[in-house]
Every structure is written in C-alpha cells, then in structure tokens.
C-alpha cells in the first residue's frame, strides 16, 4: 500500500511507458505521445532525448503532412539495432527468431523434430546453436537485450525450471538456468508457458489487440491456455494457471498423458481427433490437416470425428465462458484448424450451455499470428527488462560487453 514516488522513480516509469508506446504502436509523433501520456511537450522532449542517447529510439522529421506549422518529430524504435532472441519449444519443433524493438521479425528459423521424449541437453544445445547463429548474422552494432523462450508445459517463471512437460517427458528440468549458461550472453534467459505467451502476443499484436479479458487456447499435442483477465495474465499462486487442457469434460473418456481420463485435450485435441477418425498416422499437424481435408471432400468418418471433437471442444469453451466471461476466445496452434472445421458444433454448444449474460458478448476467433503467436510472445517476454527500465538495462548490458 505504498503511494509516494520519488522524482527519479517517476522519470524511470515515464521512460518505460514512452518506450512501450513506441514498441507497441510503432513510429509516433511527440505530440501524440504527449497526449497519450498526459504529459507536456517539454517533459516528452526530455524523455525522448534520454532514450535516443541510449540508442533505443531515433527522432525524425515526418513525411509531408500538407499542414502548416512546425511538424512534431516522429519517434521510431531502433528496430535494427535493439533486438531480442525468441525461442519456441513445441512438441514437434524448435523455432527461433530475432525480433527488433517495435516487434519486427528480423530473422526466423525452425527445425522439425520427432515426437516423443526430447533429451534436455540436446534441446538446449540445439537452441543455443540456433540463437548464436542469428546473433552472429546481426549487424555489428546490434545489441541483444533479452532472450525469451516459449515452452510447451508448466514453467516456474522466476527461475525457468520446467515443472512438467507431459508431451516431451520433462519433469523438474532446470531449463532456463542451463540455457543461460550454454548461451553465455550475460543475459538471463526468461522462460514462459507457450500458451501464456501466445495470449500476450495476440493481445499485443494479434486478434485480441487492446482487449482486457481474453482466453487463448493453443493446440499442440495437448491444449494449453493463456488467460488474460483485467489486462493481466492469470498466474495463480505459482504461475501455473491456465492448464485448461486438463479440465475433465468426460469422466469416462480417453486416457490423457497426465494420467487422468477425459481431459479436454484428450477429447478435443489432436490425439482425440486422430483417434475419433480411426487413423493410425503419427500425430502432428499433418495428421490433423489430412482429416480436415478428408472431411471437406465428404469423408463421413472424418466429418463425424470433427463433429464429435467439436462438441467436446464446445463443452470446454462453454465452461470457460461461464467461468471467465471473456470478451474473446482465440484458437491458436493446431486448434485453429480443428476449430475452423468444427465451428458449428463449438458455437452450438456455447449457445446451449453458455449463460446468456456471458455468451451474448463473447467472440470466438482464430489466431491472427498463426503458428508464430508463441514465438512472438517469447519475444515480448524477452523485451520485459528493457521495457521496464530502458536506460539502466541498456547501460548494464553495454557494461557487460566491454
């Protein structure tokens, strides 16, 4: 319940707020910043001067505006110089991107991997090699200000320990610390749950832009949930909230990797769909796409399977709508394809089982960022330090490089 702030704290906070505006919204005039932040122009001038001196932004004359009078300078993020490395560990692929301040993807690579148990050391050395390759390709005056990883399981955020990665067989792996050591960049690698990061990405740069109450469902082998309520990511006591894939919807249902039966991900996820369609293909996006295409061609087994899976997905979504009263539910990862092919069932379940006051306003949408949502979320996570205390963070990193 502290209320008072020192002038230095206020300045630090204003620098961070200004940089966040520029990072999220792109080039913006000083006049607009003054208006959005409720500060006068001379304060804005002092703040942009500090950020420019640190090399985080630059100021330019705008193009022709056709208006009379002295134009307000436009503030741009130094996207080519200030960047982060984002990594994504999915159940069947590893991906990496170099993302500039302002959110532009400067470089991106990925490697498919066979399903099953991933050896942590192997994953860590592969990710480190991918990251180093990208950093080596960056301009010589570039500054990597953070590394963020999206992981397909339960992560303890404060130290990056993977508590549980059911679909790749990890329990209590000190992933963040090992990757920090292996990369040796003088930067702590931040690790987050992939669905949480996907939710942040869709809220910052995707279909949920500006929404305060949003549920992002990410389909991989399992179903993860990232839940934003009142503008904040739902963490719970230990930061593990959002495991909606393990909401039991069918007491007598299919066995789940977690040891229970009838979990939402067992009934409505990739494995549930493949089983319902009576297929024996190896699990993965290709198998889901094959079923969706077969249904589109009129294959009745595939259609029935999608109908059944859509019904279970609908129960899950109706439950979440009743519990959370979100303004939007976003389907991402492979759940995007499953939802698109079974939207009628999902919507009809929500219409029947959602309470009027909550179902009347909720929008069901597919991810705008597609397969990149979790990776873009990892980049946002990596930008956290520089967006919290821009000047100090950059000074610390520069001192480390000398």
- Choosing from 278, 355, 370, 398, the residue that interacts with a second copy (CB under 8 A) is 355
CA distance 294 to 63: 52
Number of residues that bind a second copy (CB under 8 A): 63
Pairing of strands 223-229, 214-219: antiparallel
* 3-state SS class at 356: helix
10 CB-near residues (< 8 Å, 6+ apart) = none
Shortest Cβ 28–a second copy spacing (Å): 13
Report the residue number, 1 or 399, with the smaller CB distance to a second copy. Answer: 1
Q: How many residues does the chain have?
A: 402
Q: Reduce the DSSP state of residue 219 to 3 states and report it.
A: strand
What is the smallest separation between the CB atom of 262 and a second copy, expressed in angstroms?
9
Buried b / exposed e along 74-90 (16+ C-beta atoms within 10 A)? bbbbbbebbbbbbbbbb
- Tokens 């990883």 — which residue? 149
Contact range with a second copy by CB under 8 A, out of 190-198, 255-263, 279-287, 290-298: 255-263
Q: Interface with a second copy includes 111 (CB under 8 A)? A: no
CA dist 284 and 134 (Å) reads 27
**Closer residue to a second copy, CB minimum distance, 109 or 352:** 352
**Least spacing, CB of residue 325 vs a second copy, in Å:** 3
Candidate residues 29, 105, 177, 240; the one interacting with a second copy per rule CB under 8 A: 240
241 scored as a contact of a second copy (CB under 8 A): yes
What character string, x for contact with a second copy (CB under 8 A) and - otherwise, covers 310-339?
-----x--xx--xxxxxx------------
We find the least distance from the C-beta atom of residue 288 to a second copy, in angstroms, to be 24
* One residue of 71, 169, 174, 235 binding a second copy per CB under 8 A: 235
The least CB distance from residue 217 to a second copy, in Å, is 12
- Decide if residue 1 touches a second copy (CB under 8 A): yes
Alpha-carbon separation of residue 230 from 187, 224, 326, 365, 378 (angstroms): 31, 20, 10, 19, 21
Q: Which of residues 145-184 bind a second copy (CB under 8 A)?
A: 154, 156, 163-164
Burial letters for 298-336: b for 16+ Cβ neighbours within 10 Å, e otherwise? ebeebbebbbbbbbbbbbbbbbbbeebbbebbbbbbbbb
Q: Write out the residues near a second copy by the rule CB under 8 A.
A: 1-5, 10, 13-14, 17, 20-21, 36-39, 154, 156, 163-164, 212-213, 225, 227, 229-230, 232, 234-244, 246-251, 258-260, 315, 318-319, 322-327, 352-353, 355-358, 361-362
């Amino acid at each position: 319940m502290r209320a008072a702030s020192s002038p230095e704290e206020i300045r630090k906070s204003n620098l961070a707020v200004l940089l966040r505006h520029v990072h999220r919204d792109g080039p913006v005039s000083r006049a607009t910043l003054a208006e959005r932040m409720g500060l006068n122009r001379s304060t804005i001038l002092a703040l942009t001067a500090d950020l420019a001196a640190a090399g985080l932004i630059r100021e330019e004359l705008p193009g022709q505006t056709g208006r009379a009078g002295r134009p307000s300078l436009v503030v741009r993020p130094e996207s080519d110089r200030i960047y982060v490395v984002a990594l994504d560990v999915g159940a069947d692929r590893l991906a990496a991107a170099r993302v500039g301040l302002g959110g532009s993807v400067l470089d991106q690579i990925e490697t498919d991997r066979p399903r099953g148990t991933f050896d942590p050391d192997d994953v860590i050395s592969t990710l480190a090699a991918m990251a180093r390759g990208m950093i080596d390709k960056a301009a010589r005056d570039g500054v990597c200000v953070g590394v963020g990883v999206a992981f397909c399981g339960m992560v303890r955020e404060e130290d990056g320990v993977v508590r549980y990665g059911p679909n790749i067989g990890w329990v209590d792996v000190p992933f963040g610390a090992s990757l920090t050591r292996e990369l040796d960049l003088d930067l702590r690698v931040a690790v987050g749950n992939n669905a949480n990061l996907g939710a942040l990405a869709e809220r910052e740069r995707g279909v949920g832009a500006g929404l305060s109450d949003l549920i992002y469902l990410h389909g991989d082998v399992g179903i993860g949930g990232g839940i934003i309520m009142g503008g904040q990511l739902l963490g719970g006591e230990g930061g593990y909230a959002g495991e909606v894939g393990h909401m039991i919807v069918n007491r007598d249902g299919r066995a789940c990797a977690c040891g229970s039966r009838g979990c939402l991900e067992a009934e409505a996820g990739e494995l549930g769909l493949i089983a319902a369609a009576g297929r024996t293909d190896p699990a993965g996006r290709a198998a889901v796409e094959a079923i969706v295409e077969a249904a589109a061609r009129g294959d009745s087994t595939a259609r029935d399977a999608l109908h059944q899976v859509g019904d279970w997905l609908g129960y899950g979504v109706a439950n979440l709508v009743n519990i959370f009263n979100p303004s939007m539910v976003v389907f991402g990862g492979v759940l995007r394809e499953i939802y698109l092919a079974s939207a009628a069932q999902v919507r009809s379940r929500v219409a029947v089982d959602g309470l009027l006051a909550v179902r009347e306003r909720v929008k069901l949408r597919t991810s705008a960022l597609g397969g990149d949502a979790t990776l873009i979320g990892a980049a946002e996570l990596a930008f956290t330090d520089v967006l919290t205390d821009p000047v100090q963070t950059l000074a610390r990193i520069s001192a480390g490089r000398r």
